Structure 1
Amino acid sequence: MFGLFKKKKIGATAIEAYAAKRRSNYDLDFLGTSYKFVAVDVETANENSHSICQIGLALVDHDNTIRTYSCFVNPRENFARFNIDLHGINHRKVAGAPAFPEIFGTLSDFLNRHILIQHSTFDRGAFNGACDLAAIEKIKSQWIDSVQIARRAWPEFKGNGGHGLANLKNELRLDFDHHDAGEDARAAAQVVLLAEERLGVAFDSILTRNPTKRSYPKRVSIPGNEAGPLHGKTVCFTGKLGMSRDEAAQIAAQSGLTVRTGVSKKLNILVVGDQDLEVLNGHDKSSKHRKAEELIADGQPIQILGETEFHALVSG
């Protein structure tokens, strides 16, 4: 878990003492290196954003390799049960750990030299709150929100799981332990690199360029006709059909099918139309189609039908 802070700069003595006590390898060799960007994540002890109890850094080199470091911080505040259950950090784990001013004194110059990535705006607020509490100067670097980058790269996730790390972990096949600061920082860095690859744009230009306006079929949800022969089953549509999404939903509902907007374990039928390659952003199937196949692989009895099969089903 530890991969941070060994000598150099203010606060190193306290950090070295803590490292020796924990028998951990705190290596600060990265402080003199310049990286493409640095992803930052924090965990907090309680509802106060300044109560930082763990700092994680993902250092992204110019060849896109990632080094991850994390360190416990003693917030000198009580730990709330909710936070302990979330990240597993408590008083015992931070006993003897340096306080925020000591750690920040070691990291501040390094952080101020880099563009910083955060997944949502929480981490910047936590750093600012901790700096205010300690009466020390805040980070002056540019902060970029990887949630906003993810929204540009994968707009189809809106309303279909969203752009939080938990859903992106599933959709993008990310491998990390959620709610560990170092792991979450690495995940945010991976999201940015995947977005670069998908959009063909450098990470620091993704949010400044004008995105191409894309057209998505209307999301329709209708309860099924109780007198219909297919009542009790659910259907969802993805892709472009030979009719409007409203027309398809009305036909399905008349046959008894309840029309849903998303794919879940409660779905029975997914109707797949033509796929817009621009919307798919490099995938050969929509996110709904891929999710349905995952559920089928897990044993869920979901049928995937083409438009012709759908018409045959409701006609029959």
Structure 2
Amino acid sequence: MPVNFTAIDFETANSSSASACSVGLVKVRDGQVVDRVAWFIKPAVGHDIFLAWNIKIHGIRPTDVAGAATWAEQLPDLVAFAGDDHLVAHNAGFDLGVIKTSSTVAGLIVPDFNYVCSLQVARRTYHLDSYRLPVAAMAAGFEGFAHHDALADAEACAAIMIHAADRHGAGTVEELARITGVTIGAIGPVAMQEKSATHGPMALS
């Protein structure tokens, strides 16, 4: 189905939401991937310790990000790539939390985004023993990718949403969310105000 959105995935240096060390972004137009980009991020001071557990998961080390730009330097590129798209992420609360916390720590205004969680969409689309990204992506026909590589994970997330939209006969992300009963979330001042005006204060809790 001709859905449009931007899939996003972050990897972090530690448990802090302000410790993003890489991001992957995949743009989908009319149900097809049309652009993709990824880069390393130098975590903010005080949030820049790389834990052994995180390194084991994604393989990114301090030396990999030593010459990378900071969150504040790269946020405009992220916002420009996504544009007015809904963001989609697997376990979106985590990834959108990275955007919120990293922006706040950097002293920036949190950018306005509406978002949908592909994990929640997968739960309402497939009957699986697990809805972890590799398992849900396999159900969508996308497998053999490098899990915990930010770009590969964003591509897997995109594949789930595209497949789910087709399976449910949804032409937009909003329609897919409605059909599956998944809430469209919002971050940023304008997004939150619009959400409150449309759904009432309880929608923001």
TM-score category by the smaller chain?
Answer: 0.7 to 0.9
User: Quick one: distance in 2 between partners of 1:67 and 1:92?
Assistant: 28
Q: Percent identity?
A: 30
Equivalent position amino acid for 1:198 in 2:
R
Q: Which residue does the alignment assign to 1:151?
A: 123
Q: Which residue does the alignment assign to 1:71?
A: 39
Q: Which residue does the alignment assign to 1:92?
A: 63
Q: Does structure 2 retain, via aligned residues, the 8 Å contact 1:66–1:186?
A: no
CA deviation vs aligned residue, 1:204-245 (integer Å, no higher than 9, x gap): 21221377xxxxxxxxxxxxxxxxxxxxxxxxxxxxxxxxxx
User: Quick one: distance in 2 between partners of 1:172 and 1:108?
Assistant: 28
- Structure 1 residues 112 and 170: alpha-carbon distance in aligned structure 2, compared to 1, 3 A threshold: closer
Q: Does structure 2 retain, via aligned residues, the 8 Å contact 1:38–1:114?
A: yes
Q: Which residue does the alignment assign to 1:40?
A: 8
User: Quick one: distance in 1 between partners of 2:84 and 2:176?
Assistant: 21
Q: Where do 5+ consecutive residues of structure 2 fail to align?
A: 182-205
SS of the residue 1:39 aligns to:
strand
Provide runs of 4+ in structure 1 moved above 4 Å.
Answer: none
Say which one has the larger Rg. 1
Q: Which residue does the alignment assign to 2:96?
A: 124
User: Quick one: distance in 2 between partners of 1:169 and 1:38?
Assistant: 16
Q: Does structure 1 retain, via aligned residues, the 8 Å contact 2:140–2:159?
A: no
Equivalent position amino acid for 2:72 in 1:
P
Q: Does structure 2 retain, via aligned residues, the 8 Å contact 1:115–1:141?
A: yes
**Corresponding pairs, count:** 173
- Structure 1 residues 81 and 65: alpha-carbon distance in aligned structure 2, compared to 1, 3 A threshold: same
Equivalent position amino acid for 2:66 in 1:
A
Matches for 1:134-145 after TM superposition, within 5 Å: 134-145=106-117
CA apart distance, 1:36: 1.8
Which of residues 67, 72, 75 is equivalent to 1:101? 72
Q: Where do 5+ consecutive residues of structure 1 fail to align?
A: 1-34, 212-316
Matches for 1:275-290 after TM superposition, within 5 Å: none
CA apart distance, 1:109: 4.0
Equivalent position amino acid for 2:87 in 1:
L
Equivalent position amino acid for 1:141 in 2:
F
Could you tell me the TM-score, scaled by structure 1's length? 0.52
Q: Does structure 1 retain, via aligned residues, the 8 Å contact 2:140–2:164?
A: no
CA apart distance, 1:197: 1.3
User: Quick one: distance in 1 between partners of 2:141 and 2:180?
Assistant: 28
Could you tell me the TM-score, scaled by structure 2's length? 0.78
CA apart distance, 1:65: 2.9
Q: Which residue does the alignment assign to 1:177?
A: 146
CA apart distance, 1:153: 1.4
Equivalent position amino acid for 2:15 in 1:
E
User: Quick one: distance in 1 between partners of 2:102 and 2:64?
Assistant: 20
Matches for 1:1-316 after TM superposition, within 5 Å: 36-62=4-30, 64-76=32-44, 77-120=48-91, 121-154=93-126, 156-157=127-128, 160-161=129-130, 163-175=131-143, 176-202=145-171, 203-209=173-179
User: Quick one: distance in 2 between partners of 1:96 and 1:172?
Assistant: 37
User: Quick one: distance in 1 between partners of 2:132 and 2:161?
Assistant: 13
- Structure 1 residues 110 and 65: alpha-carbon distance in aligned structure 2, compared to 1, 3 A threshold: closer
User: Quick one: distance in 2 between partners of 1:114 and 1:138?
Assistant: 16
Higher helix share: 2
User: Quick one: distance in 1 between partners of 2:83 and 2:35?
Assistant: 18
Q: Does structure 2 retain, via aligned residues, the 8 Å contact 1:68–1:183?
A: no
